[in-house]
Structure 1
Amino acid sequence: MNDKQIELLLRTHDIRVTANRILIARTLSGMDNPTSIKELGAKLQTIDKSSIFRTLMLFKQQHLVHQIEDGRDVVRYELCMSHHENEDDDMHVHFFCEHCQQTVCLHEIPVPQVELPEGYAQSSVNYMVKGICPRCSKRYYHR
């Protein structure tokens, strides 16, 4: 994504545009997989980790990032391509490979709708499937 697209995405989610927010969103948009704060901090060495954290929390509140808890108890973030500031319309399944420890997005598989009993209110969904990815399966299990 270029900076104009990122600025539009920030505005769509009712987030004030700043240089750091553009940089964080641009970096997230360029990541192949959901990323941790530690990994993001390594790429954004000009921004301190507390600023990155606060920005990610704002992005999460405004539905601009998805927060995923991976199979190693690490919280990861990915840019949400939702078209609404108050709704995630691009929720999808994630897969954690127990061999290579990578978390990948399965964009083509939507998170199934869950009907909660009366009195329960959903605030987020973390749909993680664990197993062995195709690359590891070929490399280690089908020699």
Structure 2
Amino acid sequence: MENLEQILENNYVKPTAMRLLVLQFLIGKKVAVSLSNIEAYFDNSDRTTLYRTLKTFVESNIAHQIDDGTGITKYAMCEANCLCEMENDLHLHFHCNNCNETVC
């Protein structure tokens, strides 16, 4: 597996400390997570910085945004070679009402 810095650099994203931490967090998750989930994990970080990091990841095809019908945007890692284009990357997301988790 590529190291974290290499993943960012391969997607033309400058590896900052916060980007590396958020990337490591997302890679470790098997379910999609919300900004609030990430903010709770990084309790001493700035919400705006986290949001901008996620936005950068989405724009760079590192992560993708998920609308799972709950009204809360979720984020998950993109698969290798994902272009996050609606025409080419259609896949289902399952939201469990019991555990309140969303998975690809």
> Do they superpose with TM above 0.5?
yes
Structure 1 gaps of 5+ residues are 106-143
Q: Say which SS state the counterpart of residue 51 (structure 1) adopts.
A: helix
- Larger RCO, structures 1/2 (Cα 8 Å, 6+ apart): 2
Superposed displacement of residue 97, structure 1:
2.1
Write out per-residue CA displacement over residues 19-43 of structure 1, whole angstroms, 9 at most, x where no aligned residue.
Answer: 1100010011111200000000111
Letter in 2 for 1:39: N
| Counterpart Cα distance in 2 of 1:13 and 1:92 | 22
Paired residues of 1:95 and 1:103 also in contact (CA < 8 A): yes
> TM-score, with normalisation over the residues of structure 1?
0.63
Residues 90 and 27 of structure 1: CA distance in aligned 2, closer, same or farther (over 3 Å): farther
Higher strand share: 1
Write out per-residue CA displacement over residues 42-65 of structure 1, whole angstroms, 9 at most, x where no aligned residue.
Answer: 111232111000111111111111
| Map of 1:102 onto structure 2 | 101
> TM-score, with normalisation over the residues of structure 2?
0.84
RMSD of Structure 2 on Structure 1 (CA): 2.0
* Corresponding pairs, count: 101
Write out per-residue CA displacement over residues 79-108 of structure 1, whole angstroms, 9 at most, x where no aligned residue.
Answer: 113336xx2487632111234332122xxx
Q: Does 1:48 align with 2:46?
A: yes
Structure 2 gaps of 5+ residues are none
Larger Rg computed on CA atoms: 1
